[in-house]
């Protein structure tokens, strides 16, 4: 295509989840409440773990990082979606669109690796309990978390290097509530079929590699403990159930978006909502509702707050 005929696209139009005004008002209320729960829930977990010395262990250090990532992963897309429910003109600038892509893939890629790190932590705790404190020391934990952030950064930048160089000159409507690579590539003024496959493969390789590592890790944990004792099997299942649930909730949508895209609009939108809203919402609940240490820390925090308030009133 002749470059002289190309016009620079300065913004994109987000079509959102639906067009009905009544449905948008309802969705506004629902997602606003969900977002408040996501932010407050993850902040509570981070505050409890940081302030309570009983929770200063490798598993909870990793959980703090997961809560932090989940909170920001949702914050990249959800506030914009909520605001757009009351806007007639649902536009996003070219720079804003690129930022959404960058941070979604940076945080999403980092979370994938972080979940693998958490599986490794459970493997050491269950299969090598006598060496746990030696293997999972603070320096090792910091190194593993830094690795997850680094891989997330490399993944996001590798995607952005390609996307920002694409020519956009024609249609600018994105049939979703945020910018994501498969949808943005379709708007480029080139034959984007092969490029779309390549970019999806980039995300798909990372997702499938992490998913396979997780399956191997948890399978090995359960098989190892099963050979040890039946009581150990029950304990291992109880410990790993929350982790496995989070893995399935997080990787399920990712696989259908990037590895095995269905190309059905309403399904793609549902998966995007699940990935960016539901998973960050469920993670705090899954990790805390069955966790006695978190519950006890919450009771201690509440008692300390009430005790301090009593002293002030006195």
Instruction: Provide the pLDDT for residue 289.
Output: 67
Instruction: Provide the pLDDT for residue 36.
Output: 94
pLDDT tens figures, 141-158: 999 999 999 999 999 999
Instruction: Provide the pLDDT for residue 139.
Output: 92
Q: What is 11-302's CATH number?
A: 1.20.1070.10
Mean pLDDT for each consecutive 10-residue tract of the chain (314 residues)? 54 85 89 93 90 87 92 93 88 90 92 91 85 90 95 92 83 85 84 75 84 87 72 58 77 71 71 84 75 79 68 58
Encode the chain in three state secondary structure: CCHHHCCCCCEEEECCCCCCHHHHHHHHHHHHHHHHHHHHHHHHHHHHHHHCHHHCCHHHHHHHHHHHHHHHHHHHHHHHHHHHCCCCCCEEEHHHHHHHHHHHHHHHHHHHHHHHHHHHHHHHHHHCHHHHHHHCCHHHHHHHHHHHHHHHHHHHHHHHHHHCCCCECCCCEECCCCCCHHHHHCCECCCCHHHHHHHHHHHHHHHHHHHHHHHHHHHHHHHHHHHHCHHHHHHHHHHHHHHHHHHHHHHHHHHHHHHCCCCCHHHHHHHHHHHHHHHHHHHHHHHHHCCHHHHHHHHHHHHHHHHHHHHHHC
What are the tokens at 141?
């934990």
CA dihedral 158, 160, 162, 167 (to 10 degrees): 180
pTM score of the predicted model: 0.86
What are the tokens at 15?
């079509």
CA dist 236 and 293 (Å) reads: 17
Q: How far apart are the first and last CA of the chain?
A: 78
Residues 257 and 275: beta-carbon distance below 8 Å:
yes
pLDDT tens figures, 165-203: 888 877 788 888 888 888 888 888 877 677 777 877 788
């Amino acid at each position: 295509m002749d470059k002289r005929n190309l016009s620079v696209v300065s913004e994109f139009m987000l079509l959102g989840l639906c067009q009905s005004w009544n449905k948008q008002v309802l969705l506004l209320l629902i997602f606003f409440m969900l977002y408040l729960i996501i932010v407050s829930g993850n902040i509570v977990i981070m505050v409890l773990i940081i302030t309570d010395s009983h929770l200063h262990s490798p598993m909870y250090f990793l959980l703090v990082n997961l809560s932090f990532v989940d909170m920001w992963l949702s914050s990249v897309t959800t506030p914009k979606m909520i605001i757009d429910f009351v806007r007639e003109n649902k536009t996003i600038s070219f720079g804003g669109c690129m930022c959404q892509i960058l941070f979604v893939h940076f945080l999403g890629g980092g979370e994938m690796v972080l979940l693998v790190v958490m599986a490794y932590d459970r493997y050491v705790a269950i299969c090598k309990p006598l060496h746990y404190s030696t293997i999972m020391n603070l320096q090792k934990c910091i190194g593993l978390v830094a690795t997850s952030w680094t891989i997330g950064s490399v993944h996001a930048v590798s995607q952005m290097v390609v996307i920002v160089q694409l020519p956009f000159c024609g249609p600018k409507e994105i049939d979703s509530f945020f910018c994501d690579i498969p949808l943005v590539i379709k708007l480029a003024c080139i034959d984007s079929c092969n490029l779309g496959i390549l970019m999806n493969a980039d995300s798909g390789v990372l997702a499938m590699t992490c998913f396979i590592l997780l399956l191997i890790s948890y399978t090995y944990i359960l098989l190892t403990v099963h050979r040890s004792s039946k009581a150990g099997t029950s304990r291992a299942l109880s410990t790993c159930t929350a982790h496995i649930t989070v893995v399935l909730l997080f990787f399920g949508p990712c696989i259908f978006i990037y590895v095995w895209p269905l190309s059905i609009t309403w399904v793609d939108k549902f998966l995007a909502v699940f990935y960016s809203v539901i998973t960050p919402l469920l993670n705090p609940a899954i990790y805390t509702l069955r966790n006695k240490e978190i519950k006890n820390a919450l009771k201690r925090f509440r008692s300390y707050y009430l005790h301090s308030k009593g002293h002030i009133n006195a």
